[in-house]
Amino acid sequence: MKFCPKCKTILIPEKIKGKSYLVCKKCGYKEESKRKLVIVSGIKEESKEVVVIGENKENLPTIDIICPKCGNTKAYWYMQQTRSADEPPTVFYKCTKCGYSWRSYE
């Protein structure tokens, strides 16, 4: 991995007119690569698991918490990592009575 000498952004490999270059997408800096580059395209993203609160509610965990919309004291909950790994996960809640959803950043 090589960084741009001007703005310190990671240089991205590109083929331009049959030659291999390392290019900075931020400031436009480019240099011819001294190494043979293998450029891979079409990388598939991993599928993200989605929690669906629907018909099978009896399997979801519940917690005693007050719904900010209706005042009910029970909600379904799940956690998801929505920020960087060194930050705590976000807790999502869904009221068992009115279905209102909200989140908590703990």
Give me the residue spans of the domains in the chain. Answer: 1-38, 57-105
On whether the CB atoms of residues 23 and 11 are closer than 8 A, the answer is yes
pTM above 0.75, yes or no: no
CA distances, 21 to each of 4, 14, 96 (Å): 12, 5, 57
List pLDDT tens digits, range 5-46.
999 888 888 888 888 888 888 898 988 887 766 656 555 555
List pLDDT tens digits, range 50-84.
555 555 555 678 889 899 999 999 998 888 777 77
SS3 57: helix
- What architecture (CATH level 2) is domain 1-38? Single Sheet (2.20)
**What is the predicted pLDDT for the residue at 19?**
83
Instruction: Clarify whether 64 is annotated catalytic.
Output: no
| CATH class as words, domain 57-105 | mainly beta
CB atoms within 10 A of CB 47: 6
CB atoms within 10 A of CB 33: 17
In CATH terms, are 1-38 and 57-105 the same topology? yes
Q: Which of 32, 49, 86, 106 is catalytic?
A: 86
* Band (47; pLDDT cuts 50, 70, 90): low
